[in-house]
């Protein structure tokens, strides 16, 4: 073997070793792979456990109508021991419920499974029930279970085991403490501890094992969490509620993503997750482990339109667990409203790297729109509501303030349109002088006119461009503002949903699918006002045949928007209605303050002044340069063709 061959083999070996080290799975990935292999190995045991559970349920049902013989009792006891092993004492128990509550929430825990049976929010009601508290879930609508692997390879689920609750304790700061114990023996058990602070939507949960290292598998350093929940329809507008209901999650690096809102979706994640949220339009249930989920399988299903539920969410996630009890598995569970300030408060005095960013559960639009909402719209809304004003007055004041903010842009846009309008006779003369075949000469003459008059064609477009993010910010804010929920204005009893004055049950093809089975009055008023505003604008346009199609399009746009906004929040339609009324008033003020004849004389004087040395705007200068380059290129191509 010569020197070059030896070096070649050595380099290949280095590359192979480096490649294997670089692609070696991380600790979390190895744990996920091990857990997957265990799950496959124990799949038959899971089926066996399910069969035993079913047999036990049948036996229990039969015992209600006829006595159970001693032989049957012994057989059932053996079956339970065979399925649950040392956990057999916890396989049977007494169904019962324990409730802890504060001023905001009432939480009921079940003995079987040791987890939440029912969650109620005391400050909110549903549109169907204005008497009882709003219920996020109850009974089988929600389930959370952890997988336990025993030292003899049994796979058990905590949802099938019975916990024994201790008496509720109240700590010095008003926090309520509930302990629930899953006992194997006096020395071996698993405790669930729940702490509900005073006036808080965040529940603190801890899982602590004692003496379980010889009962559970020796290599068990994590558990698989199974979390299932059906999302109730809480709002009148189902179509709109479905649009905002989604399964959302945050990676450890602060990136937030979600599954599809409009269709069934699922995703497997092998990265660490900071939290997982089951989100409705205005309410969410969020699980936030202290040490993050190491991996997760997420699934979201859209429920049929006839169902009482809008979504079904399911999660399988891996979370750390110490059977020796030297370390607890801690997590927080948020059960409350999607209220921006409430959610943001959980990041107060928290290091940037550890912030939860739960306020992102409130959708405020894409980046610049969300930024406007956060620094302008939400503070303004908070200021006006803090004065104790009616919500209708608050929206009116917000509309006036926003109109004042964008007034300079609106005035500039109107003045630019007026300039173009008074120049139209001169532009028509240029078009007659230069036919379409001489397009370059026509463009040059038009640019020369703009230079002499000091007009920029973009002057009317840029102000409208600056207004657009503000308008979009309001479009995102009102449908997600929980403060509008249940607030009435005139005939609308809830500004967070549509205000139907006419509704019907019959399905009408196309209409029912796009427009809905109702007519929203604020949306109708917005449409009528928009048509009036369009008519006022069309009066200032020329009556040439080339504008007829444009006019029809302008009149059809309000009708199109009516189909879009008929299902939207009445608060948003009310805002646009008031905004359009103010815009109409502004239009009359602009017409009164800007005289076309006076403006034309000013522009003619400016044309005469700039006739010899016209002042060119940057935009016009760039257009001229492009025209010269285009003309030179055309001449060069013509020369090549005639050679």
pLDDT in tens, 38-51: 444 444 454 455 44
Distance CA 368, CA 317 (A): 34
Is residue 549 scored above 70 in pLDDT? no
Q: Which two three-digit tokens encode residue 224?
A: 């698989």
Partners of 333 in beta bridges:
203, 287
Spell out the residues 6+ positions from residue 153 whose beta carbon is closer than 8 angstroms to its own: 41, 42, 45, 217
Four-CA torsion 603, 609, 615, 621, nearest 10 degrees? 70
Q: Which helix (H) or strand (E) holds 170?
A: strand 169-170
Neighbours of 241 (CB within 10 A): 21
Count how many Cα atoms sit within 13 Å of the Cα of residue 596 in the half-sphere of its side chain.
10
When pLDDT is cut at 50, 70 and 90, the band that residue 633 belongs to is low
Give yes or no for a contact between 336 and 283, defined as CB atoms under 8 angstroms apart.
yes
| 64-78, 246-260, 463-477, range with greatest mean pLDDT | 246-260
Mean pLDDT of 334-345: 96
Confidence at residue 408, expressed as pLDDT on a 0 to 100 scale:
82
Q: Between 549 and 309, name the one with better pLDDT.
A: 309
Confidence at residue 602, expressed as pLDDT on a 0 to 100 scale:
63
Mean model confidence pLDDT for the chain? 81
Measured between alpha carbons, how far is residue 93 from residues 112, 113, 138, 185, 338 in Å? Answer: 8, 11, 21, 15, 37
When pLDDT is cut at 50, 70 and 90, the band that residue 643 belongs to is low
Distance CA 274, CA 271 (A): 10
Distance CA 514, CA 505 (A): 15
Confidence at residue 64, expressed as pLDDT on a 0 to 100 scale:
36
Confidence at residue 65, expressed as pLDDT on a 0 to 100 scale:
38
Quote the crossing angle between the two packed helices 70-84 and 43-62, to the nearest 10°.
Answer: 150
pLDDT in tens, 361-377: 999 988 899 999 999 99
Q: Is 212 helix (H, G, I), strand (E, B) or coil?
A: coil
Confidence at residue 607, expressed as pLDDT on a 0 to 100 scale:
58
Distance CA 140, CA 137 (A): 8
Q: Which two three-digit tokens encode residue 531?
A: 């048509």
When pLDDT is cut at 50, 70 and 90, the band that residue 109 belongs to is very high
When pLDDT is cut at 50, 70 and 90, the band that residue 589 belongs to is confident
Mean pLDDT of 53-58: 44
Rg of the chain on CA atoms, in Å:
34
pLDDT in tens, 376-432: 999 999 999 999 999 999 999 999 999 888 888 777 777 777 776 777 777 777 777
Identify the weakest region by mean pLDDT among 42-56, 382-396, 441-455, 618-632.
42-56
Confidence at residue 588, expressed as pLDDT on a 0 to 100 scale:
84
Spell out the residues 6+ positions from residue 9 whose beta carbon is closer than 8 angstroms to its own: none
Distance CA 136, CA 265 (A): 22
Identify the weakest region by mean pLDDT among 236-245, 360-369, 584-593.
584-593
Q: Is 398 helix (H, G, I), strand (E, B) or coil?
A: helix
Four-CA torsion 440, 445, 447, 452, nearest 10 degrees? 170
Distance CA 82, CA 46 (A): 13
Give yes or no for a contact between 104 and 201, defined as CB atoms under 8 angstroms apart.
yes
Show the CA angle centred on residue 634, arms to residues 633 and 640, nearest 5°.
90
Mean pLDDT of 430-440: 72
Q: Which helix (H) or strand (E) holds 329?
A: strand 329-337
DSSP line for 415-473: HHHHHHHHTHHHHHHHHHHS-GGGHHHHHHHHHHHHHHHT--GGGTHHHHHHHHHHHHH
Specify the pairing of strand 202-210 against strand 222-232.
unpaired
Identify the weakest region by mean pLDDT among 14-23, 292-301, 303-312, 599-608.
14-23
Q: Is 558 helix (H, G, I), strand (E, B) or coil?
A: helix
* Tokens 């049929």 belong to residue: 304
Confidence at residue 46, expressed as pLDDT on a 0 to 100 scale:
46
Is residue 464 scored above 70 in pLDDT? no
Distance CA 572, CA 580 (A): 12
Q: Which two three-digit tokens encode residue 395?
A: 């929206």
Burial class (CB in 10 A: 0-12, 13-18, 19+), 632: exposed
Is residue 8 scored above 80 in pLDDT? no
Locate all alpha helices (DSSP H) within 352-423, ordered by sequence: 367-372, 378-386, 391-405, 407-422
Confidence at residue 515, expressed as pLDDT on a 0 to 100 scale:
77
Query: What are the counts of helices (DSSP H) followed by strands (DSSP E) for the chain?
Result: 19, 22
Q: What percent of the chain has pLDDT over 90?
A: 46
90-94 long-range CB contacts below 8 Å, 24 or more apart? Answer: 90/161, 90/162, 90/163, 90/182, 90/183, 90/184, 91/56, 91/160, 91/161, 91/162, 92/162, 93/162, 93/164, 94/162
Confidence at residue 563, expressed as pLDDT on a 0 to 100 scale:
86
Distance CA 366, CA 363 (A): 9
Q: What are the residue ranges spanned by the domains of the chain?
A: 142-361, 364-485+594-643
Q: Which helix (H) or strand (E) holds 5?
A: helix 3-22
Confidence at residue 61, expressed as pLDDT on a 0 to 100 scale:
35
Identify the weakest region by mean pLDDT among 63-77, 170-184, 193-207.
63-77
Neighbours of 431 (CB within 10 A): 13
When pLDDT is cut at 50, 70 and 90, the band that residue 118 belongs to is very high
| 49-58, 336-345, 615-624, range with greatest mean pLDDT | 336-345
When pLDDT is cut at 50, 70 and 90, the band that residue 175 belongs to is very high
User: How much of the chain is helix, strand and coil, in % rounded to 5?
Assistant: 50, 20, 30
Q: Select from 226, 183, 189, 221 the least CA-distant residue to 208.
A: 189
Confidence at residue 83, expressed as pLDDT on a 0 to 100 scale:
79
Q: Select from 224, 206, 205, 190 the least CA-distant residue to 324.
A: 190
Neighbours of 637 (CB within 10 A): 9
List phi, psi (to 5°) of 166. -90, 170
Is residue 54 scored above 90 in pLDDT? no
When pLDDT is cut at 50, 70 and 90, the band that residue 615 belongs to is low
Neighbours of 623 (CB within 10 A): 20
Burial class (CB in 10 A: 0-12, 13-18, 19+), 385: middle
When pLDDT is cut at 50, 70 and 90, the band that residue 12 belongs to is low
Spell out the residues 6+ positions from residue 460 whose beta carbon is closer than 8 angstroms to its own: 412, 413, 416, 417, 420
Q: Between 405 and 593, name the one with better pLDDT.
A: 405
**142-361 CATH pick, 2.60.40, 1.10.12, 2.70.98, 1.10.3470:** 2.70.98
Confidence at residue 538, expressed as pLDDT on a 0 to 100 scale:
74
Specify the pairing of strand 295-302 against strand 265-269.
antiparallel
Is residue 225 scored above 90 in pLDDT? yes
Q: What percent of the chain has pLDDT over 70?
A: 75
Distance CA 427, CA 548 (A): 19
Identify the weakest region by mean pLDDT among 17-26, 338-347, 429-438, 537-546.
17-26
pLDDT in tens, 286-339: 999 999 999 999 999 999 988 999 999 999 999 999 998 889 999 999 999 999
pTM: 0.78
Distance CA 341, CA 373 (A): 13
Four-CA torsion 343, 349, 355, 360, nearest 10 degrees? 30
Q: Which one-letter DSSP state was computed for residue 102?
A: -
């Amino acid at each position: 073997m010569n020197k070059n061959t030896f070096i070649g083999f050595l380099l290949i070996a280095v590359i192979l070793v480096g490649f294997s080290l670089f692609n070696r799975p991380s600790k979390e990935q190895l744990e996920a792979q091990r857990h997957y292999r265990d799950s496959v190995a124990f799949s038959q045991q899971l089926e066996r456990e399910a069969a035993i559970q079913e047999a036990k349920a049948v036996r229990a049902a039969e015992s209600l109508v006829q006595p159970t013989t001693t032989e049957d009792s012994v057989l059932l006891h053996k079956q339970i021991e065979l399925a649950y092993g040392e956990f057999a004492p916890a396989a049977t128990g007494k169904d019962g419920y324990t409730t802890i509550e504060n001023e905001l929430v009432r939480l009921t825990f079940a003995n079987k499974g040791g987890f939440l049976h029912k969650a109620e929010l005391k400050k909110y009601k549903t549109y169907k029930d204005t008497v009882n508290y709003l219920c996020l879930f109850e009974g089988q609508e929600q389930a959370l279970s952890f997988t336990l692997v025993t030292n003899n390879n049994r796979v058990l689920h905590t949802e099938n085991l019975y916990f024994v609750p201790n008496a509720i304790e109240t700590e010095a700061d008003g926090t309520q403490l509930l302990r629930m114990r899953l006992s194997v023996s006096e020395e071996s058990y698993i405790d669930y501890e729940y702490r509900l602070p005073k006036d808080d939507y965040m529940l603190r949960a801890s899982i602590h094992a004692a003496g379980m290292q010889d009962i559970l598998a020796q290599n068990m350093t994590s558990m698989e969490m199974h979390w299932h929940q059906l999302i109730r329809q809480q709002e009148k507008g189902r179509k709109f509620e479905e649009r905002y209901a989604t399964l959302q999650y945050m990676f450890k690096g602060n990136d937030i993503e979600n599954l599809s809102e409009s269709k069934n979706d699922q995703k497997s994640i092998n990265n660490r997750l900071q939290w997982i949220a089951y989100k409705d339009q205005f309410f969410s249930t969020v699980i936030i482990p202290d040490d993050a989920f190491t991996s997760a399988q997420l699934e979201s299903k859209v429920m049929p339109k006839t169902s009482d539920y809008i979504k079904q969410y399911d999660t399988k996630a891996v979370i750390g667990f110490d059977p020796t009890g030297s370390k607890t598995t801690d997590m927080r569970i948020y059960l409350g409203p999607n209220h921006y300030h409430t959610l943001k408060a959980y990041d107060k005095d928290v290091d940037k790297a550890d912030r939860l960013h739960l306020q992102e559960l409130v959708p405020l639009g894409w980046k610049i729109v969300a930024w406007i909402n956060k620094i302008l719209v939400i503070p303004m809304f908070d200021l006006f509501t803090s004065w104790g004003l009616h919500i209708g007055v608050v929206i009116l004041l917000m509309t006036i303030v926003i109109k004042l903010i964008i007034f300079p842009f609106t005035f500039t846009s109107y003045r630019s349109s007026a300039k173009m309008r008074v120049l139209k006779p001169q532009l028509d003369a240029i078009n007659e002088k230069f036919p379409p075949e001489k397009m370059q000469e026509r463009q040059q003459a038009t640019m020369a006119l703009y230079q002499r008059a000091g007009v920029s064609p973009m002057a009317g477009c840029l102000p409208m461009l600056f207004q657009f993010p503000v308008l979009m910010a309001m479009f995102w804010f009102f449908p997600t503002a929980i403060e509008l929920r249940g607030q009435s204005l005139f005939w609308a009893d809830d500004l967070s949903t549509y205000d139907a004055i006419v509704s019907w049950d019959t399905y009408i093809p196309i209409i029912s699918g796009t427009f809905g089975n109702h007519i929203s009055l604020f949306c109708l008023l917005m449409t009528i006002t928009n048509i009036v505003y369009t008519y006022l604008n069309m009066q200032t346009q020329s009556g040439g045949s080339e504008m007829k199609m444009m006019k029809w399009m302008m009149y059809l746009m309000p009708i199109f928007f009516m189909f879009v906004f008929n299902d939207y929040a009445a608060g948003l339609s009310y805002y646009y209605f008031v905004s359009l009324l103010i815009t109409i008033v502004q239009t009359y003020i602009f017409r009164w303050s800007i005289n076309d004849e006076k403006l034309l004389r000013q522009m003619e004087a400016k044309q005469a002044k700039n006739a010899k040395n016209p002042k060119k705007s940057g935009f016009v200068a760039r257009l001229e340069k492009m025209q010269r380059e285009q003309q030179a290129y055309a001449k060069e191509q013509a020369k090549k063709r005639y050679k």
